[in-house]
Every structure is written in C-alpha cells, then in structure tokens.
Chains A and B, each alone.
Chain A
C-alpha cells in the first residue's frame, strides 16, 4: 500500500510567510521523517518524529504527528528564498522495517 502522501503537491508563498505541508500514511510506523531536496540534488534529513511523540521543533521547523489520523504536518515559519525546495515525508514503518517509504513530495517556492 502507498505511504507518505503529501499535500499540497506544490505551494508558492511570499518570503516571510509560513509554509505548511501535510503528509498522510496508511500503516503503523516507528517514526516519520521529513527530508528536503534542492533541485537535482541529494536528500537532506530535516527532522524525525517518533510514533510516541506529537510535536517536535527544530529551528524554524515544527513537525506534528497524529497517529490516530495517520498524518503529519511540517511547518516552516518565516520562510526564506533559500527554503525553496521539494519536501518529502518518509515513513519508517513497523513491519518489515529497514527501509523508508517516501511520498511524492511538496514543491515549495518562496517568492522574494
């Protein structure tokens, strides 16, 4: 089954605004991770939230996890032009483990 579906697929906002991206998944997980990918480049790990956590912060990033709804959100506050990238959620799920299942990603564009 598919895991880690993000929405929206694309988001365009003005610099300084907050950006919120959502992710849904289908099966029980160990943790959920968010990654950033600049165009044509590698994946950069941003933040990991465990299944027993509800919220986590790292700098301008805030991640929430609702295991009852099987959903997560990534909030980037006070966005900057350098935040322009694709953002992926990835689930590390309980059964079968040892691999991440990625969603399609959200393409975020920050307009100066």
Chain B
C-alpha cells in the first residue's frame, strides 16, 4: 500500500533556529497538507497546497511558516525561527483529490521538540 513518508521522525532544535520538515507524498496525489498535534490536544490544520501554491491556511500558519515543493516529489514545511510553543507532532498528508469520496493518507509524523 502506498505511504506518505516523513523525515525525520524526531527533531530537537533550539529556540530561534530554523527547521525543515520533509514529506514525500504518494506519487499520484495532487493535494498536500500539513497538520500538527500538540501533545494531548486535537489535530489542527495548518496549510493545504495544490498546483504549486497554497490553497488554504489556518491562523496558526503565520509568517514564520512556509511550504514548498522543491522538486516535484518532496513537500517541505519550514519554520523560520522556532518557538517553544511550536513543539508538536507535525503530520503531512496527501490525497488524490478533494470532494466526497477521498480519504487522506497521513504520514507517521515528525515529533518536533523546541528547547
């Protein structure tokens, strides 16, 4: 079964540092997403990406965040200057198309710890 792959599985970074979280979506999927889950809380939408541009973003996704699909296979989330409150599990997801029929495939996540 095709998978969404995320790397690294765990990253520890110092406050103020930049981090890049990487994802390889399923190859024939067209829509890509980042979600995050702070420990013990619900999964929250960050951003959706289609046709090489952001299609929707949440209030969480401020100027410190950016996404990119640099080479047609990887999908990255960059946090420019990390804060303690950015510590969370970050999930990448993809689906073939939006609408009524399609579930999302999630990666296994990157646990980001900001110290």
Contact = CB atoms under 8 A, between A and B. Distances in A.
Contact of B105 (A45, A50, A97): A45
B96 to A, nearest CB: 13
Given A50-B101, A98-B98, A99-B48, A104 B42 contact: yes
Nearest to B47: A99
B42 A98 contact: no
Contact of B106 (A42, A48, A50, A104): A42
A42 B107 contact: yes
B98 A51 contact: no
B56 A99 contact: yes
Contacts of B109: 41-42
B45 A100 contact: yes
A55 B49 CA distance: 31
Given A43-B106, A45-B105, A48-B103, A98 B43 contact: no
B75 interface: no
Chain B interface extent, by class: 20 to 34
Interface string B18-51: 0000000000000101010000011111001010
A31 interface: yes
Nearest to A41: B108
A109 interface: no
Given A33-B103, A48-B103, A98 B108 contact: no
Contacts of A90: 43
A97 B43 contact: no
B99 A30 contact: yes
Interface in A63-89: 88
A102 to B, nearest CB: 4
A13 B85 CA distance: 35
A90 B104 CA distance: 11
Interface of A: 30-31, 33, 35, 40-45, 48, 50-52, 88, 90, 92, 96-105
Interface of B: 31, 33, 35, 41-45, 48, 50, 55-56, 58, 89, 91, 93, 98-109, 111
